[in-house]
Structure 1
Amino acid sequence: MTAETVTLTEDACWEFLRDRPVGRLATAVAGEPDIFPVSFAAADGHVYFRTYPGSKLVEVAVNTRVALEADEWSPEVATSVVVKGTAEILEHDADLAAAEATGLVSYQDDGKNVWVRITPATISGRRLTR
């Protein structure tokens, strides 16, 4: 059995993201990296997630450069997509409406009321098969 690695196209990366409900948000403040699981939605060339005041929101406010990774694996196939870009805390009505229109459903309905949008600088993905 020969292993194969396929680089995903940008369109394939977005399609993969649209089908995933959860990813990991990577931040770094004062040289300290952090990773947070987030429910997210991909729409119109952006990634959206909701949060509430806390360390994740503080870190995004201090350093807007973030990465988000979503993946999927099975014994035969592993796929990973990484978005690197700029996070923005949404405040304007039009931006909030666009975020709400994604239909994002969080795993926990725990009062997360702050929307964040990631505007990608790069998006890349790979699929590995055994």
Structure 2
Amino acid sequence: MSTSPVTLLTEDDSWEFLRTQSVGRLATAVGGEAEIFPVSFAAGDGVVYFRTRPGTKLVELTVNSRVAFEADEWGEDVATSVVVKGTARILETDAELAAARGTGLVSFQNDDKNVWVSITPTEVSGRRIARG
């Protein structure tokens, strides 16, 4: 009798995994066209945070705030993936910005990304796959 190589993660396990990662992919869809952007991120208090600057990503988030986000990790024997679906929005208040900065987010590139964005989830799912 064999066991499944796929383990579904609980929501708590998914957030725990997200807190250990620093790079993920943001998926947007505008006008029937899907786009995927790599982003540096941090997870805190049930929210995903990232920084960006004015450009395509920010325009797309303003047109359609519904997004998907994925972070994953691949090893020799195990792969883990967590997907967050939710609503993205630009942070504006001092309290929101303080919460985002409190995550310790460090951008992959130290550049002028000064617009903070949060993703508030409507769904979080994760899975761990063992090589069979």
Task: Give yes or no for TM over 0.5.
Answer: yes
- The one-character-per-residue Cα deviations of 1:65-110 (angstroms, maximum 9, x if unpaired) are 0010000112211110000000010111111111111110001011
Aligned twin of 2:52: 51
Q: 1:119 offset after TM fit, Å?
A: 0.2
> 2:45 & 2:104 partners in 1: Cα distance?
13
> 1:2 & 1:89 partners in 2: Cα distance?
44
Does residue 95 in structure 1 map to residue 63 in structure 2? Answer: no
Aligned twin of 1:76: 77
> 2:57 & 2:63 partners in 1: Cα distance?
10
Aligned twin of 2:8: 7
- Tell me the TM-score normalized by structure 2: 0.95
- Amino acid across the alignment from 2:39: V
Aligned twin of 1:116: 117
RMSD: 1.1
> 1:97 & 1:74 partners in 2: Cα distance?
34
- Tell me the TM-score normalized by structure 1: 0.97
> 1:80 & 1:117 partners in 2: Cα distance?
20
What is the number of residues matched between the two proteins? 130
> Identity over aligned residues, as a percent?
70
* Structure 1: 5+ residue stretches without partners: none
> 2:40 & 2:76 partners in 1: Cα distance?
24
> 2:106 & 2:76 partners in 1: Cα distance?
28
Look up the SS of the partner of 2:17 in the other structure.
Answer: helix
> 1:63 & 1:9 partners in 2: Cα distance?
28
